[in-house]
Structure 1
Amino acid sequence: MLRNSRDSFGLVSILFHWVIGLIFLGQIALGYLMVRVSDFTLQFSLYQWHKSFGFLVLGLSALRLLWKLANPRPRDPEHMNSLERVAAHAAHVILYLSLFIVPLTGWAVASSSPLQIPTFMFNLVVIPQLPITISDAAEAFWAASHAWLAYLSAVVAAGHILAALHHHFWKRDTILMRMLSPSAAKTGRNVN
């Protein structure tokens, strides 16, 4: 099943979710590591990889958003209470926004830097700079914004993961299963 059903996500939505989610979490770890490396050559390479994966997240997120608009999300299970529904929808909105805002602020960091180091996306293509102010102050602003938004996103993602595990292991419902396989989740509760 490629498309979403009323009760489960289709294969395309599932692949977008896991691929983007894993890259995004890997980006947070890579971003943390790259600013702590003292070897300049290694640091430059890590920065280029970080920027490359950031543009990949941005591109995949745009495709995912188009898919989401053409293929609506399955309905919430009936047993979810209103607080769970509000929390889930708020987390999804924050995470979706993060998939665009965090890479864009990263692009702004590179574009505002007085060093003007080109971004070589996967060593295949040079990404143009954004037309923004170039200064140490601008770079510092965008770098702080990028870091804080990335860490905030990581906290929300952790809450999202914990909520999915809570639903699976404690509530024993199909919330997690419907994001693992299109056929794994059936309507109603798990039987185990």
Structure 2
Amino acid sequence: MRSPITNTATRYGWAMIILHWLIGIIFIGQFALGFVMMRIESQRTAFELIQLHKSFGFLLLGLIILRIAWRLGNRAPALPPSVGTLERKAAPLAHFALYAFQVALPLSGWALVSVSTLEIPTMPFNLFVMPNLPLSESDAAESFWSAAHWYLAYAGIALVALHIAAALRHHFLLRDTVLTRMITPSSARE
């Protein structure tokens, strides 16, 4: 039997699994790319990495919006009985925070390039020119959005690290299905 695309009562379907891992990889990769591009000496290489970072930022924004829409239409599987009351209450808040940071971070980057006085066009993957947000250009605004983007990036990566630690705790210490249900898709039988 083939696995369905949608979630079941006990497991995630293919759509959520693929979106979860793709967004996670891009989010962590974006953090690493942002870290490197701000410390590289070659201006040409830095410029190319910044353009790549912006491209993946827009891709990430689109994927997270798709994931939120999919999540709204597909109920998450129930947590296993081993999950305690406090963790049951904290899990939705933690997921909401992850979603919020994954939306806010690329939006803050988009705001940053929109207010830049350099007026360098953004061309995601060299396919088209992405219009700027309707914000006023100024050095002060650029400084604000640059700081906001930086703080959001570090807070977001800290949340991702906590998310990974929690998943590993469930898998190795509690030995429940919290992690495996995001790896092995639901089946048509469930």
Q: Decide: shared fold, TM above 0.5.
A: yes
Match of 1:120 in 2: 123
Q: Could you say which residue in structure 1 is the equivalent of 2:180?
A: 177
Question: Which residue matches 1:36?
Answer: 39
CA distance in 2, matches of 1:183, 1:135: 51
Structure 1 segments unaligned to the other structure (5+ residues): 188-192
d(CA) in 1 for partners of 2:28 and 2:174? 26
Shift of 1:171: 0.6
Aligned partner of residue 5 in structure 1, secondary structure: coil
Amino acid at match of 1:170: L
Q: Distance in 1 between matches of 2:172 and 2:105?
A: 31
Residue 99 of structure 1 corresponds to 102
Q: TM-score, normalised by structure 2?
A: 0.94
Listed as ranges, the gaps of 5+ residues in structure 2 are none
Residue 90 of structure 2 is matched in structure 1 by 87
1:190 corresponds to which residue?
Answer: none
Of 25, 35, 48, the residue aligned with 2:28 is 25
CA drift of 1:75 comes to 1.4
* Rounded Cα–Cα distance in structure 2 between residues aligned with 1:166 and 1:76: 14
- Give the counterpart letter for 1:167 in structure 2: H
Of the structure 1 ranges 63-72 and 12-21, higher mean CA displacement relative to structure 2 is found in 63-72
Deviation by residue 1:40-87 (Cα, 9 ceiling, x = unmatched): 110110000000000000011111111111111111222211221233
Q: Which residue of the other structure, out of 35, 38, 56, is the alignment partner of 2:59?
A: 56
Percent of paired sites with the same residue: 50
Residue 183 of structure 1: CA displacement? Answer: 4.3
Tell me, in whole angstroms, the C-alpha distance in 2 between the residues paired with 1:70 and 1:87: 22
Which TM-score applies when normalising by structure 1? 0.93
Distance 1:164 1:80, change over 3 A: same
Q: Residue deviations 1:108-156, cap 9 Å, x none?
A: 0000111011111001111111110210110010010011011101001
Point out which structure has higher relative CO (alpha carbons under 8 A, 6+ apart): 2
RMSD: 1.3
* Moved >3 Å (runs of 4+): none
SS at match of 1:119: coil
